[in-house]
Amino acid sequence: MPLVHPFETSFGRTTDRRVLLVEVESEGVTGWGECTAGERASFCEESTDTAWPILVHELIPALLRAEIQTGGSCPRVFSHVRGNRMAKAALENAVWDAQSQQAEMPLWELLGGTRTEIACGVSLGMEPTVGELMERVEAELAAGYQRIKLKCKPGHDVELFDAVRARWPEILLSCDANASYRLKDQEHLRSFDAFHLLMVEQPLWHDDFYFHSLLQRQLETSICLDESIRNRRDALAAIEMESCRIINIKLGRVGGFSEAIRVHNVTTERGIPVWCGGMLETGVGRSHNIALSSLQNFSLPGDVSASSRYWTEDIIEPAVEVTSRGTIQVPQTPGRGYRVKRDRVEKLTVRSERFHARNQVRSDHAVSLKA
């Protein structure tokens, strides 16, 4: 699926997405999941192409053998597989979706959500010129978005903050380095403090807590960890080491709703605010992000924004829309609350495979993969 606008981060530029979708059929309902891995293994170790065989050879057979009733029991069923959290999340989240439809309740309610409306920000990729970036900031603010996040990297940072702050001194502004700085850049990172950013996201290595804790001591600006946080224990370690003051929760990165709720709960106990990250999802993953963002501790605007910022035509109906207050209304209907446009999905699919449960008891259970 071509993106409406190319998205450039410190690790590369994305112009088209190649997305893996999971469809779980059970007792008359169909749950959908999206693998949020990128086309390249640059954000983390997984990619669309690594998730496929892990699902086919490990996760789907385990799920179809298991006698499970809930999304919450998926982590146990998948526990013999190390890592591969984005592949796991794609399947687990589809089971949660199916479960919520069987219970005839909204997915967000099944997750324990309370918010009826979620706060939205935008993540802006790097642009060829500062002028082009300024135009994008202007458009997003006019649309009502509550927070602007600028992608940055060495040589591509304070100049942008300076230009944006000079024109909009009061907005909620943050930046995301995607692990592109080193500890020797400490003095330079201290100069970010002058711009009163809400946070600096993942300045150092993707797998680090310790050096972030050293850096956080030197900064007034709060560090937010993204890549480093894979599960509840990581969140706890980062909080205890004071590696960050804010955490970004991504469903794929932590392995699905079960672990996302555990991260949410431990941050609540420790008084650390969270927000929902994005991975340039189609409407399927986006609708999961909306449900997750309804949990109480998602108190900061997330990276979950309107479908039209990414796609000329999304694969769900209705498309995700944002109010002029920069919020998304949480749907009140059972399941994810957005219908999958099956025709559109079929048209975009280049590869698909379907798996059936072998045993009698579960003969109406099937899983399909599409990419």
Chain residues binding ligand OSB by CB under 6 A are 43, 123, 176, 178, 226, 277-280, 303
**Which is closer to ligand OSB, CB of 100 or CB of 178?**
178
CA atoms of 2 and 121, how far apart (whole Å):
22
Pick the binder of Mg ion from 176, 234, 259, 314 (CB under 5 A).
176
What is the pattern of x (binds Mg ion, CB under 5 A) and - over residues 194-213?
-------x------------
Q: At what angle do helices 158-167 and 130-143 cross, to 10 degrees?
A: 50
For the bound state, the minimum distance from the C-beta of residue 54 to Mg ion, rounded and expressed in Å, comes to 23
Spot the catalytic one: 88, 149, 153, 250.
250
**Which is closer to ligand OSB, CB of 8 or CB of 23?**
8
- Length of the chain counted residue by residue: 371
If binding is defined by CB under 5 A, does position 25 make contact with Mg ion? no
Helix (H, G, I), strand (E, B) or coil at 276: strand
236-239 contact pairs (CB < 8 A, 24+): 236/266, 236/270, 237/209, 238/209, 238/212, 239/266, 239/267, 239/270, 239/272
Spot the catalytic one: 88, 149, 151, 153.
151
* Residues that contact Mg ion, how many (by CB under 5 A): 3
Nearest-10 Cα torsion for 265, 268, 274, 276: 30
If binding is defined by CB under 5 A, does position 226 make contact with Mg ion? yes
For this structure, is 250 an active site residue?
Answer: yes
For the bound state, the minimum distance from the C-beta of residue 248 to Mg ion, rounded and expressed in Å, comes to 6
Tokens of 55: 């699902």
For the bound state, the minimum distance from the C-beta of residue 170 to ligand OSB, rounded and expressed in Å, comes to 23
CA atoms of 246 and 47, how far apart (whole Å):
26
**Which is closer to ligand OSB, CB of 280 or CB of 322?**
280
**Which is closer to ligand OSB, CB of 303 or CB of 314?**
303
Selection from Mg ion, ligand OSB, none that 279 binds (CB < 5 to 8 A by kind) is ligand OSB
CA atoms within 13 A of residue 336's CA, in its CB half-sphere: 28
Q: Print burial letters for 156-185: b (CB count within 10 Å at least 16), e (below 16).
A: bbbebbebbbeeeeeebbbbbbbbbbeeeb
> Annotated catalytic sites, by residue?
151, 250
Per CB under 5 A, residues contacting Mg ion are: 176, 201, 226
